[in-house]
A and B are shown apart, each in its own frame.
Chain A
Amino acid sequence: MAHSLHPQEWVTQYADALYSYTLPRVNDQALAQDIVQETFLSAWKAREGYKGEASEKNWLFAICRNKIIDHYRRKSTDIMVHIDQDNTEDRYFGEPGHWNQQDEPADWRNAADGEVERKEFYQAFEGCRKKLHDAQQSVFAMKYLDDLDSAEICKTLGITPSNYWVLMHRAKLQLRNCLEKNWINPK
């Protein structure tokens, strides 16, 4: 029965796994739930065309993945406007290019060594990530969660390598600043 699907078991078997995969990538519960739902519906509509080349599970994940990529693309339509208007660097660096005193990175020491500390990191990280603009969130997820290389990311989003570095770099500047305030030194 290599070519058969079992749609009645999809939800029990794969719903949580697909949701766990999607949520960290889109960082929004409602949206992640929509994507999982759309994945199952698309799969249902395409079930006649299933040839059994991939396992049922991989086939569903591939559909889900495409939906996530669509989401990254949608969030990046105005990417160039952001690149031009963003002044992240000027927020943290004064003249002549030195860190502003209040923004100087501190020593995090062994901040992430313990289990509790890590948990706190993920909580802070979730909030800090939401403060990035949409295009940055997409690029960040593609790079660090999907492990895509920069060439693939540039191709998917239609940006140049230098646009990509600038986006990533600004995302890192903002994230580390936010994490230092909310995770390392919470008030």
Chain B
Amino acid sequence: MHCKKATFLLSKREENKLTWLEQVQLRTHLGLCGACKHFEKQTMIITCLVKEIRQKETLPENIKQQIQSQLR
């Protein structure tokens, strides 16, 4: 298997859609290929960090006033 296929299977794996054969092929490839192993780790890092996006934002005051004036 080559890297293009392996990375695609990694994405597909997130949906638990790999066949038994694909799982074996993917595991074998990841054992041999550092770049794809990094890809695997990186997508996990991205997923974790994105899920933690919890910024507190403030709606600009002028827009608040504008809305307030419309609610009457």
- Name A residues whose Cβ lies closer than 8 Å to a Cβ of B: 7-8, 10-11, 15-16, 18-20, 23-24, 33, 36-37, 40-41, 44, 89, 93, 96-99, 104-108, 111-112, 118, 121-122, 125, 144-145, 147, 150, 161, 165, 168-169, 172-173, 175-176, 179-180
Contact = CB atoms under 8 A, between A and B. Distances in A.
Contact of A40 (B41, B56, B60, B70): B70
B50 interface: yes
Contact of A20 (B7, B14, B56): B56
Contacts, number: 119
Contact of A173 (B7, B48, B59): B7
Nearest to A101: B35
Interface centre among B8, B35, B45, B59 (most CB of A within 10 A): B59
> 9 shortest A-B CB distances, which residue pairs?
A97-B2, A97-B4, A169-B11, A105-B38, A19-B59, A93-B4, A20-B57, A104-B35, A105-B39
B15 A165 contact: yes
B66 to A, nearest CB: 7
By secondary structure, the A interface counts as helix
A144 B54 CA distance: 13
A175 to B, nearest CB: 6
Contacts of B71: 7-8, 10-11, 40-41, 44
A91 to B, nearest CB: 11
Given A33-B59, A176-B39, A125 B50 contact: yes
Contacts of A125: 46, 49-50
A171 B38 CA distance: 17
Given A19-B58, A150-B15, A176 B2 contact: no
A41 B71 CA distance: 7
